[in-house]
Amino acid sequence: MMALLFAVTFAVFWKAGRMKRHVLGFAIGYLFFAAGFLATHLLPANAFYTFHLTQFFYSIGCGIFVVSTCERVGQRPYLPLLLGIYIANALVLALAVNFTNDVGPRLILINIGYGSMFLVNLVALLSAQRSDWVDKAIIAVTAIQVADFFIRPTLTMMFEQTIPAEEYRGSIYYSLIGLVLGVKSIAGAMVLMGATIVEWTNSLRESSDKDPLTGLNNRAAFEEAMGRIIPRAHTEDKPFSLVVADIDHFKQVNDIWGHQAGDSAISGFGKLIQETIRGCDTAGRIGGEEFCVAVWNCPNEPAERLADRIRTAFARLEHDGLNDDIRLTASFGVATVREGESYERLFARADAALYRAKSNGRNRVENDDNKGQSVVQGSQREPTNERGSEQQAPSREPELVELKSAGGKG
């Protein structure tokens, strides 16, 4: 099965190249396409559930491809619209299955559903205004998918007219579908593999710009990226937000548990950030325990929610070198770019919000655009600064580290 081979190939790319999650999405999408192909060709053609399962697998595969390709270029995937297309299509398909034995209407309906999903994808990709040859190739393949799903089933049924369910596998449509799916799968996979290889090559070329402990951009590389991205946001009139984060009381974590434990905390925080953000976002370690996340095409409130998701996840994260009942926390500042604003000014506002989070108790998110409100973690216990007495009485919940700081962000 070619689809399974492509799924494995993209999974290897994602794992071996430590690539962004949209590459994993390509692997999962082809896996669902393989499941849909098997359902089409192995299940009884006249069983009522065959078309429902086929539509489910192919629709999930199409949806994952839409989300992955949109995330690759920083576009929103319109998930409610995709879900609405699937539900409406599934309901109409159920009526067709119940009221007629002719599979022609079923084939037209499900292909219209797939075509509608790819049409949403095409609009989103065109809105991204990307001009690289790889992006143009992906747009071309998507346009071919849209045309095929809308035109081919209708033309075939005009020629063949009716297809009883029990005769489906002997029909002209069934004879053509294997060839068409094979050609489209290969063409799409080759283009997406080309895009993936380009991204992998670029990441290897930029490895000198990476922080060795976290794998994120170092400060110089991050600021260079901001010099390109923020002017682009102004030109394209896209919302753009910056999240600045700092691990709470990190110096005292080093003093109590040692630098190896501190490195483990920094590495874990960097990995968490990388796993949480999208492929179009940019993250960097800009200081010892300070991180930045540039969130593309993202207004202020969603950026604040992203920061709080990272904050909450980090407060649950275990770290090598720390006691099993110890957890660390981090504080966050969020700001959204204003018209004509430079990176330096945007960073200053996000950094000021971070200082307020530190001053107001830490382990929270402060938003420069909404200075009177913050997202706050629950109460925290304080282990002492002495190695001999740092262990607290046993408790059911893991302990949150909250060490007193002499000054600075801490």
- How far apart CA 274 and CA 278 sit, in angstroms, is 8
Q: What is the CA radius of gyration of the chain?
A: 26
Architecture of the domain spanning 209-400: 2-Layer Sandwich (3.30)
The one-letter code for the residue type at 246 is D
Bridge partners of 220? none
Q: What's the farthest any 2 CA atoms get from each other in the chain?
A: 85
What's the CA gap between 374 and 365, in Å, rounded? 6
DSSP line for 373-402: -EEE--------S-GGG-PPPP-SSPEEP-
pTM of the predicted model, to two decimals?
A: 0.60
pLDDT tens-digit map of 225-259: 999 999 999 998 999 999 999 999 888 888 888 88
Q: Which residue has the higher pLDDT, 178 or 267?
A: 267
CA 335, CA 301: separation in Å to the nearest integer? 10
Max mean pLDDT among 135-149, 179-193, 366-380 falls in 135-149
Q: Are strands 374-376 and 364-367 parallel, antiparallel or unpaired?
A: antiparallel
Tens of pLDDT along 53-104? 999 999 999 999 999 999 888 888 789 999 999 999 999 999 988 888 888 8
- Assign 404 a pLDDT band (cuts: 50, 70, 90): very low
Residue-range domain boundaries for the chain: 2-205, 209-400
